[in-house]
A and B are shown apart, each in its own frame.
Chain A
Amino acid sequence: MVKLKINVNGKDHNLEVEDTMRLLDILRDVLGLTGTKEGCGVGECGACTVIMNGDAVNSCMVLATQANNAIIETVENLERDNVLSKLQNAFVEEGAIQCGFCTPGMLMSAKALLDKNPHPNEEQIKEALEGNLCRCTGYIPILNAVKKAAE
């Protein structure tokens, strides 16, 4: 078992979990934050993307021990007091959501970018989202949404 202290969306948690647990499992199964999704389990699709210590990471590729003392931000943190963030509104307005399964991961990759670089160019946006696969939207509405949020 691994003892870990982890801060998720501003709240501290002291947990004891199996060594084999991934950060993804801790979020979904232990903390009940099911917004973060599993699409492949091998760090290819990005559906499990969360922000860890300021960087976008695949939570399926982080073992429990590695998440000790980490500060994690998930999609559940974007809406505040029933108000959607600018980024979320941009996704809605630009048609960047179809089935929505890739959306949490896309949002977190986009947010990690905008937190570091509030006005990225197209190339920088593509680099930030290159690890997030989408099968529905053809990416163009998502690109437009992040550009809108970066204005």
Chain B
Amino acid sequence: MDNIIGKKVKRVDAYEKVTGKAIYGDDIKLVNMLYAAVRYTDIPAGKITKIDYSDAVKVPGFVKIALYKDIPGQKKLGPIRSDQFAIVNDEVFFSGDVIAVVAAETKESAYKATDLIQVEYEAIEGIYDPRIAIKPEARLIHPEYKSNVVIHYPLRKGNIEKGFSASDHIIERNYKTGFHEHAYIEPETITVVPDHVSKGYSVYGSIQNPFTTRKVVALFMGLNMNQINICCSTLGGSFGGKDDTVNYMACRCALLSKLTGRPVKLTYTRENSLKESYKRHPYYMNYKVGFNNDGKLKAMKINIIADSGAYSSQTFFVTWRSVVQATGPYEIENVETDIKGVYTNNTYTAAFRGFGSPQVIFAQESLMDEIAEICGISAHKIRKLNGFKQGSKTASGQILNKHTVSLNEVIDKALEKADYHNKLIEYKKHNEQTNRYKYGIGFSCSYRGCSLGAEGTDATSAIVSVQADGSIYILTGLNENGQGMRTTFSQVAAEVLGTDLEKIVFLNPQTATITDGGPTVASRGTLMGGNAVIDAAEKVKMRIFNIIKDDLKVHSIAETVWKDGTISRKDSKDNIKTIKFEAAVEKAYWSGENLSAYGWFKAPNVSWDEETGQGNAYFTYVYGAHVADIKVDTSTGKIEVTDITAAHDVGKVLNKLGAEGQVYGGVMQGFGYAVLEDYNIQDGIVKSENFDNYLIPTIKDIGNITPILIENEDDDGPFGAKSLGEPTLELTSAAINNALKVATGIQSYELPLTLEKVFLGKNLKKPSRQSQVAVHDSCKIHYKYADKLTLRITDIKTRTPKDLKDALEKLSKQELKVLSGGTDLIIESRMKTGKHTLLDISHLDELKNIKVNENEIRIGCGCTFTKIVNDENIKKHFPLLNKACSTIGSLQIRNRGTIGGNIVNAAPCADSYPPLIAYNAVFILTSKKGVRKVSADKFIIKNYKTDIQNDEILTEVVIPIPQKKYNFSYFQLGRRNAVNITRISIGILISFEEDKVNECRIVSGSLFHKPMRLGEIEEILIGKKLTKELINTIEEPLKKLIDDEIGKRWSSVYKMPVFVNMTRDALTEIIEQRG
């Protein structure tokens, strides 16, 4: 029946992506093009009293600067409320506000010019907690709106007080979720080009919602919509994130393009993106629930405060979805929900896959498990008891009867596939014993309204244009973000017209060529766009049919089959030939038929009463359930996800690879949201600056994901299909939280479930330095020659020596920084200002040898970690070193980073150090003057400081080959499973004589001010039998040792007990090794 839809097909845009030929925004290079850079504010809240760019204009290559006064059109912008500035006037509201934007001949001149823009402020005390901002006495962040509350949505169903009175139990819980960053791998980029035909501009780049971008730029520039043409480049991921941010970038570039008459490109660094781009709303949620002994919910009162950040942006829409769905997919007679979006001086918040659902699902699905436990029933049973069924009434009073309500089906299938019930019993039993590892399994379920719902204008466009030779163009107003939309739409058109996918070319949308189709959001792409494509294709199909119907001797199109490039009768009568599609098209063309058609789909009617929060909020819904199977290391608080089973009712699978891809990708993001991703912003200053401290999952971070795609065809969907993109992200965090409860008994009310959160019950944040804490009104802050605002490599010279002798000669004459692999030094150079010269020793082969004799191994300091890890002799004699080095960074880093660089850089987390100390390594330092030897433990003075002299190069590491047999154990703790900055590490070597500990070396890493041997602890073990009892005796002295050294540090409350655990575990492993 289905020929192309539902099948596994190759993506239509795969070729250009897999060859590197696809053109993304930053790949665009035009003649006469200028490069732009932005000047951010130096403080999160305050009035600007002076902007001095007199030094900026002197930079060679500088062309133009644009400020607020240069804005030709509407100065304040925003999707609903125009409270936001592409370029601020005289006040800043968050760290990502842009004060000025510069265009220059090169990127470096643009960056340099912005570095030299001096700004003076009168700081205002910022408000960084929406619960404070909401108080009546709080300072108004935008006084013109008379309140810090951006929007309040109420929902009232039944009688809440009666409901509570009728409840056997009432509980109240508070939940918190934080900022969440999209972290698309492609940073934002825009290029604007003057267009002399329209006397406007063409805009290229990483644009998600072309019609929104057009609207904003036209307003900002004071032009008509038809003078701005948005031409979307291949988009490197978005997840809802390339909307407002990108619109304001486009405004800035358009302005510069106007002022210079030239094309202008602005590409963000990852630091720009993390600082300026909007995030997911943090939610503070209070749930009060009344229920009966049997688990039936009677009443739910929900109060949510959403952090809107500095601007309102999408807060109106995000919070609306939450008010509709906050109760979860449960029939509750009495509901009172209030959600308020509130201004703060934090990064502003807007659309991100899920759009107000991940937060409430985390809360309400965790709550359901807790209620089940109180009632003594299973988590499954409570969902069965309260969950939506066919004909159920939602919190907003909508009867669910126009589609298949498959909540129970998705739950049952997910639990069955994950073997939930058996594992629950098995894990509970295992966890009763005292084991280091605990196991947990938990699930969550949800319902989600598809597309924009009652708060949006929901219609979309498509063009199907058949050419005279039967080849086809498709255009839609919706935009490929990477999710596979082009393929899905091509499949839909191919299915309707019976052609091959190869006959179809999907054109990148330009706003000049197709009607506004609304934004690519709300998982509406397939649902809305698919229908529009069908509409267009069917119009063309009918026109072609009318030309050839006589040839087939039929009357209605229902009598024909369009398949495999032919059109034939359904009832194949032998003497009537089939007609090839191309032949039919040709005939129609020559008959003067219009083979191009516009398709349009408007969402069925929905309704909403603003006062009561009642109405048919969405025209259809989808249902999903996730099961998380996890293992928790109780020594450290680390969660390992073994499997996520994800069941989703998608209506119909059109694009099989695409649908599974959405599940894999969404679950991975949901896992990141749940465990790893902790956007750190303190007092308005963004601390998560790049991917080294904002951690997203790597390939090693989830064991397995099992998608289950369920098809209950929807009457309103194209071939029955509906939404999938967002449901896949919103469920995972609650499933993991519920699994954590089973594993450890810990009930968490906050995301993310970081190491500290799981281990201690709370997240730890490095406290702000006093100098960064908000200042009061009368204080003036003057910034002269701000530090490098855009991190990049500048002001370095490199010199390449012929050989080691030449290198030492150069070092003796000049102050040079030695460049080996560069994986630390280049990052440092990116941050540094001031001229410095690097001496590149990376080519010196004489430093890359590993020499072995019977007494020692000599490792050349130019050896990369890969070389060291692969060396059989090092593996054999120094397994601690092998293991430690194999965990450094990633393979790419290990292929460049050298042991010499690691040692001399002496970062607190330098992984090669602790093993070298344990093995009594000696470092050879060579200068023109001669050779010096320093033992490893003496070489490092403290973090980032060693004994090396200015004229020396660390040339060799000499490690004596152990003459005895040593048992070894090494543990390294990182937040994720790859590319970590080591949180803590421990390395142990023990030799035994008869049964007793003979030699013992215990080295800590990333714990104290430098890696150290723990002599006091070693002493306790020497001469004794290594038993569990002996290991217990080191606990107190170890705690004291750590407390004396780092007790006052903020991180010690986590590091101390965890290091004690790790030491115990490492020693226990040695007992087990010995059998």
Interface residues of A (CB under 8 A from B): 2, 19-20, 22, 28, 32-47, 49, 52, 55-58, 60-66, 68-69, 74-76, 78-79, 84, 88, 91-95, 97-104, 107, 109, 126-143
Contact of A109 among B665, B891, B979 (CB under 8 A): B891
Known contacts: A63-B798, A66-B842. The answer to whether A42 contacts B892 by CB under 8 A is no
Known contacts: A39-B187, A58-B892, A101-B236. The answer to whether A140 contacts B823 by CB under 8 A is no
Known contacts: A55-B866, A135-B669. The answer to whether A65 contacts B840 by CB under 8 A is yes
Bound-state CA distance A137–B16 (Å) is: 17
Bound-state CA distance A36–B822 (Å) is: 20
Contacts of A68 in B (CB 8 A): 800, 843
Closest-CB distance, A56 to chain B (whole angstroms): 5
- Contacts A61-B822, A103-B18 supplied; 6 other A-B pairs, CB < 8 Å: A33-B20, A43-B823, A45-B270, A91-B18, A128-B891, A138-B668
Residues of chain B in range 1-35 having any CB-CB distance to chain A below 8 Å: 10-11, 13-24, 26-27, 29
Could you list some 12 contacts between A and B, CB below 8 A? Answer: A40-B270, A57-B892, A61-B822, A61-B896, A63-B798, A66-B843, A75-B20, A131-B891, A135-B185, A135-B237, A138-B668, A138-B702
List the 6 closest A-B pairs by CB distance, nearest first: A35-B20, A131-B890, A99-B482, A138-B664, A100-B17, A101-B236
B19:A76 contact, CB within 8 angstroms: yes
Contact of B20 among A2, A34, A92, A136 (CB under 8 A): A34
Contact of A43 among B661, B795, B827, B842 (CB under 8 A): B827
Binds A, one of B318-326, B544-552, B689-697: B689-697
Closest-CB distance, A40 to chain B (whole angstroms): 4
Asked if B792 is at the interface (CB within 8 A of a chain A CB), the reply is: yes
Contact of A131 among B17, B182, B892 (CB under 8 A): B892
A88:B18 contact, CB within 8 angstroms: yes
Bound-state CA distance A57–B793 (Å) is: 18
Bound-state CA distance A134–B183 (Å) is: 9
Known contacts: A19-B796, A44-B691, A100-B18. The answer to whether A130 contacts B698 by CB under 8 A is yes
Q: Among the interface residues B235, B797, B891, which one has the most CB atoms of the partner chain A within 10 A?
A: B891
For B, the interface residue count at a CB cutoff of 8 angstroms equals: 89
Q: Write the chain B residue with the least CB distance to A78.
A: B19
Contact of A57 among B13, B24, B843, B896 (CB under 8 A): B896
Bound-state CA distance A137–B657 (Å) is: 10
Bound-state CA distance A66–B839 (Å) is: 10
Q: Write the chain A residue with the least CB distance to B820.
A: A66
Contacts of B669 in A (CB 8 A): 135
Asked if B830 is at the interface (CB within 8 A of a chain A CB), the reply is: yes
B664:A137 contact, CB within 8 angstroms: yes
B26:A137 contact, CB within 8 angstroms: no
- B789-804 vs A, CB cutoff 8 Å, 1 = contact: the mask equals 0011111111110000
B21:A95 contact, CB within 8 angstroms: no
A62:B891 contact, CB within 8 angstroms: no
B819:A84 contact, CB within 8 angstroms: no
A101:B24 contact, CB within 8 angstroms: yes
Residues of chain B in range 138-191 having any CB-CB distance to chain A below 8 Å: 182-187
Bound-state CA distance A42–B822 (Å) is: 11
B185:A84 contact, CB within 8 angstroms: no
A98:B665 contact, CB within 8 angstroms: yes
Closest-CB distance, A120 to chain B (whole angstroms): 12
Bound-state CA distance A134–B822 (Å) is: 24
Known contacts: A41-B269, A100-B234. The answer to whether A130 contacts B979 by CB under 8 A is yes
B236:A137 contact, CB within 8 angstroms: no
Bound-state CA distance A135–B791 (Å) is: 24
A58:B893 contact, CB within 8 angstroms: yes
Contacts of A43 in B (CB 8 A): 823, 826-827, 889-890, 892-893
Closest-CB distance, B975 to chain A (whole angstroms): 13
A44:B11 contact, CB within 8 angstroms: no
Contacts of A79 in B (CB 8 A): 19
Contacts of B977 in A (CB 8 A): 130
Residues of chain B in range 262-319 having any CB-CB distance to chain A below 8 Å: 269-270
Asked if B484 is at the interface (CB within 8 A of a chain A CB), the reply is: yes
- B725-753 vs A, CB cutoff 8 Å, 1 = contact: the mask equals 00000000000000000000000000000
Asked if B528 is at the interface (CB within 8 A of a chain A CB), the reply is: no
Asked if B699 is at the interface (CB within 8 A of a chain A CB), the reply is: yes
Contacts of B830 in A (CB 8 A): 41-42
Asked if B658 is at the interface (CB within 8 A of a chain A CB), the reply is: yes
A139:B699 contact, CB within 8 angstroms: yes
Known contacts: A63-B840, A78-B19, A136-B661. The answer to whether A38 contacts B667 by CB under 8 A is no
A22:B270 contact, CB within 8 angstroms: no
Known contacts: A40-B690, A41-B792, A103-B18. The answer to whether A65 contacts B892 by CB under 8 A is no
Contacts of B20 in A (CB 8 A): 33-36, 74-76, 103-104
Contacts of A76 in B (CB 8 A): 19-20
Asked if B481 is at the interface (CB within 8 A of a chain A CB), the reply is: yes
A99:B822 contact, CB within 8 angstroms: no
Contacts of B22 in A (CB 8 A): 100
Asked if B968 is at the interface (CB within 8 A of a chain A CB), the reply is: no
B891:A63 contact, CB within 8 angstroms: no
Contacts of A84 in B (CB 8 A): 15, 18-19
Bound-state CA distance A11–B19 (Å) is: 18
- B838-876 vs A, CB cutoff 8 Å, 1 = contact: the mask equals 101011000000000000000000000010000000000
Bound-state CA distance A127–B16 (Å) is: 27
Bound-state CA distance A66–B798 (Å) is: 9
Closest-CB distance, A11 to chain B (whole angstroms): 16
Known contacts: A34-B27, A65-B800. The answer to whether A44 contacts B699 by CB under 8 A is no
Q: Write the chain B residue with the least CB distance to A79.
A: B19
Contacts of B827 in A (CB 8 A): 42-43, 61
Contacts of B979 in A (CB 8 A): 44, 130-131
Closest-CB distance, A37 to chain B (whole angstroms): 7
B892:A135 contact, CB within 8 angstroms: no
Asked if B978 is at the interface (CB within 8 A of a chain A CB), the reply is: yes
Asked if B895 is at the interface (CB within 8 A of a chain A CB), the reply is: yes
Bound-state CA distance A80–B1051 (Å) is: 54
A58:B185 contact, CB within 8 angstroms: no
Contact of B18 among A47, A60, A97, A131 (CB under 8 A): A97
Residues of chain B in range 771-814 having any CB-CB distance to chain A below 8 Å: 791-800
Closest-CB distance, A97 to chain B (whole angstroms): 5
Bound-state CA distance A137–B239 (Å) is: 12
- B952-990 vs A, CB cutoff 8 Å, 1 = contact: the mask equals 000000000000000000000000011100000000000
Residues of chain B in range 675-691 having any CB-CB distance to chain A below 8 Å: 690-691
A61:B798 contact, CB within 8 angstroms: no
Contact of B696 among A56, A100, A133, A142 (CB under 8 A): A133
Known contacts: A55-B866, A84-B19, A131-B892. The answer to whether A100 contacts B699 by CB under 8 A is no
Contacts of A33 in B (CB 8 A): 20
Q: Write the chain A residue with the least CB distance to B661.
A: A95
A101:B186 contact, CB within 8 angstroms: yes
Closest-CB distance, A115 to chain B (whole angstroms): 13
Contacts of B889 in A (CB 8 A): 43, 131
A41:B705 contact, CB within 8 angstroms: no
Contact of A135 among B667, B690, B696 (CB under 8 A): B696
Asked if B483 is at the interface (CB within 8 A of a chain A CB), the reply is: yes
Bound-state CA distance A60–B697 (Å) is: 21
Asked if B769 is at the interface (CB within 8 A of a chain A CB), the reply is: no
Contacts of B698 in A (CB 8 A): 130-131, 133, 139
Contact of B978 among A62, A88, A130 (CB under 8 A): A130
Closest-CB distance, A64 to chain B (whole angstroms): 7
Q: Among the interface residues A28, A103, A136, A143, which one has the most CB atoms of the partner chain B within 10 A?
A: A136
A137:B661 contact, CB within 8 angstroms: yes
Contacts of B667 in A (CB 8 A): 138
A133:B19 contact, CB within 8 angstroms: no
Asked if B700 is at the interface (CB within 8 A of a chain A CB), the reply is: yes
Closest-CB distance, A96 to chain B (whole angstroms): 9
Closest-CB distance, A17 to chain B (whole angstroms): 11
Bound-state CA distance A52–B864 (Å) is: 14
B270:A41 contact, CB within 8 angstroms: yes
Asked if B660 is at the interface (CB within 8 A of a chain A CB), the reply is: yes
Bound-state CA distance A63–B841 (Å) is: 12
